[in-house]
Amino acid sequence: MIEGGWGYIWAAYGVTWMVLILYGIYVFKSPNSHLQ
């Protein structure tokens, strides 16, 4: 049984969410809106 380790959990979840959110912003921000 491994004690604690919440640092790793936060690292894994934190980075995952951050990357997904940042990528989501990049993807949903339509760069072509100036064409419309």
Partner 1 sequence: MKWFHISAVMGVSLLCIGHGLGLFVAPPEAMMGDVGRILYVHVPTAWVALVVYLISFGAAVGSLWFGRLTWDATVRASVEVGVVLTALLVFQGSVWARPTWGVWWAWDPRLTTTAIMMITYVAILIMRNAIQDSPRRLVITAVATIVAFVDVPIVYFSVKWWKSLHQDHSSPDTVSDPMILPLRLAAIGMLLLALGLIGARRKTELDRLNQEVDPASLPEPIEALSVPGESE
> Which residues of the shown chain bind partner 1 in the complex (CB under 8 A)?
1-6, 8-9, 11-13, 15-16, 19-20, 23-24, 27-28, 30-32, 35
26 Cβ contact list (under 8 Å, min separation 6): none
For residue 35, the Cα-to-chain-centroid distance in whole angstroms is 29
Q: Please state the closest distance from residue 14 (CB atom) to partner 1, in A.
A: 10
Q: Please state the closest distance from residue 5 (CB atom) to partner 1, in A.
A: 4
Q: Please state the closest distance from residue 33 (CB atom) to partner 1, in A.
A: 10
Q: Which residue has the tokens 């064409």?
A: 35
